[in-house]
C-alpha cells in the first residue's frame, strides 16, 4: 500500500458557527485508517459534503469537553448505528466523556448496533494511548480553562523498500525478501551483498500535532519538537492578546512562535473567533514570525507527506 498521511479540516471556527465555518473537527487518514479529532457541531454535514463515510472512522480523539469540540459527537455516534455499523469504535478523551455520552444516550434511549469503547485519560505528561503497526498516538497536556489535551500522531516505518531489480538478479526467496526489508544483508555462497545495495533509501517518518484549545506555553514544546505539521489554534489576532490570556487561547503571534520554537515544517491555523469574517486576516501576523503557514478553513486538505 502507498503511504497515506492526509489531513482534512471539517470545522475551523471556535465557539459558534459563523461565516460558513463550523466549530472544530478534523479527519486524519493514515494508510486507509480514519482518525477523527474533535467533533464540533456540523461535523456530520461536512463529512457528507467532503465524501467521508461516517462508518469508515476507526478512532475518535476528543481534546476536551467544551461544546464546540464535542457537541457533534452524540449525533455522529447514533448516526453510525442508524447506518448499521458493526465494527467496534474506540474513543479517547478526558475524564467526564463517558458520563457526558452515557447521560445523553440514557435519556434518549439510544440503541447501538456496534460496540462503543470509551477510554478516559488524565495525565500531566506525554502519554502513548494508541499504538498500531504504522502509527503511534500520544496525548499531552495543553493549557486551557479546563482539562485539555493535544494529540501527536507519529508514523512508524518498520521496513525498507527493496529494489525490484535485485529480487530477480539474485533469485531471492520470499524469506530473503522479508529479511532484507528488515535490514539484513544477503548471502550468496561466500559473498555478502550489503543491505544498502539491495534497498532504497528509507523515507523519513512524518508526524502531526494537534493543539486546540490552548494558550501558547513552552511546556508543550517537548511533546511536539521537530513535528512535521503543527496545528495550533489562533482564536484571536494580536490586538486581542489580553482576552486570549484570560480565556486560555492563543493569538496568531503565539501560534507562530510555538511553530518556530518547535522547529515545525508547517503551521496550520484554526479555531477562529466569530468576530473575524475572513481567516486570511491571520496570515500577515503569522508570517511575520513563521513560514510556511496554511490558513486552515473548512474543507482545507494537507498532505503531511509533503513536509517530510
What is each CA distance from 93 to 75, 138, 151, in whole angstroms?
17, 12, 10
DSSP conformation class of 274: T
User: What are the DSSP calls for 132-183, one per residue?
Assistant: -SSEEEEEEE--SSS--EEEEEEE---SPPBPHHHHHHTT--HHHHHHHHTT
- Please identify which residue in the block is written with the cell numbers 487561547: 249
Strand partners, 152: 138, 209
d(CA 226, CA 262): 6
CA angle (111 as vertex; 41, 26 as ends), nearest 5: 25
**CB environment 190-200: b (16+ within 10 A), e (fewer):** eeeeebeebbe
The number of residues making up the chain comes to 308
d(CA 85, CA 256): 41
Query: Which residues are identified as catalytic?
Result: 68
CB neighbour list of residue 122: distance below 8 Å, 6 or more residues apart: 94, 95, 147
User: What are the DSSP calls for 58-102, one per residue?
Assistant: EEEE-----HHHHTTHHHHHHHHHHTT--S-EEEEE-TTHHHHHH
Q: Are strands 33-39 and 25-30 parallel, antiparallel or unpaired?
A: antiparallel
Amino acid at each position: 500500500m502507498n503511504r497515506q498521511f492526509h489531513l482534512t479540516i471539517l470545522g475551523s471556527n471556535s465557539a459558534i458557527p459563523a461565516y460558513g465555518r463550523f466549530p472544530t473537527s478534523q479527519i486524519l487518514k493514515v494508510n486507509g485508517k480514519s482518525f477523527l479529532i474533535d467533533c464540533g457541531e456540523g461535523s456530520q454535514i461536512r463529512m457528507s459534503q467532503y465524501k467521508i463515510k461516517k462508518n469508515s472512522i476507526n478512532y475518535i480523539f476528543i481534546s476536551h469537553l467544551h461544546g464546540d469540540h464535542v457537541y457533534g459527537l452524540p449525533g455522529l455516534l447514533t448516526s453510525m448505528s442508524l447506518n448499521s455499523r458493526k465494527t467496534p469504535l474506540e474513543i479517547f478523551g478526558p475524564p467526564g466523556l463517558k458520563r457526558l455520552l452515557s447521560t445523553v444516550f440514557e435519556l434518549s434511549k439510544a440503541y447501538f448496533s456496534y460496540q462503543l469503547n470509551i477510554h478516559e485519560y488524565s495525565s500531566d505528561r506525554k502519554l502513548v494511548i494508541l499504538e498500531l503497526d504504522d502509527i503511534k498516538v500520544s496525548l499531552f497536556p495543553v493549557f486551557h480553562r479546563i482539562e485539555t489535551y493535544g494529540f501527536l500522531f507519529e508514523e512508524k516505518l518498520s521496513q525498507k523498500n527493496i529494489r525490484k531489480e535485485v529480487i530477480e538478479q539474485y533469485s531471492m526467496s520470499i524469506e530473503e525478501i522479508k529479511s532484507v526489508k528488515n535490514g539484513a544483508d544477503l548471502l550468496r555462497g561466500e559473498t555478502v551483498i550489503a543491505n544498502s545495495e539491495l534497498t532504497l533509501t528509507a523515507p523519513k517518518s512524518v508526524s502531526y500535532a494537534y493543539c486546540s484549545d490552548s494558550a501558547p506555553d513552552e511546556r508543550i514544546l517537548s511533546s511536539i519538537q521537530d513535528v512535521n505539521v503543527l496545528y495550533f489554534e489562533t482564536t484571536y489576532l494580536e490586538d486581542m492578546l489580553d482576552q486570549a490570556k484570560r480565556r486560555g487561547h492563543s493569538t496568531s503571534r503565539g501560534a507562530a512562535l510555538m511553530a518556530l520554537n518547535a522547529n515545525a515544517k508547517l503551521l496550520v491555523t484554526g479555531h477562529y473567533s466569530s468576530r473575524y469574517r475572513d481567516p486570511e486576516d491571520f496570515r500577515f501576523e503569522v508570517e511575520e514570525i513563521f513560514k510556511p503557514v496554511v490558513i486552515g478553513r473548512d474543507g482545507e486538505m494537507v498532505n503531511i507527506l509533503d513536509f517530510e
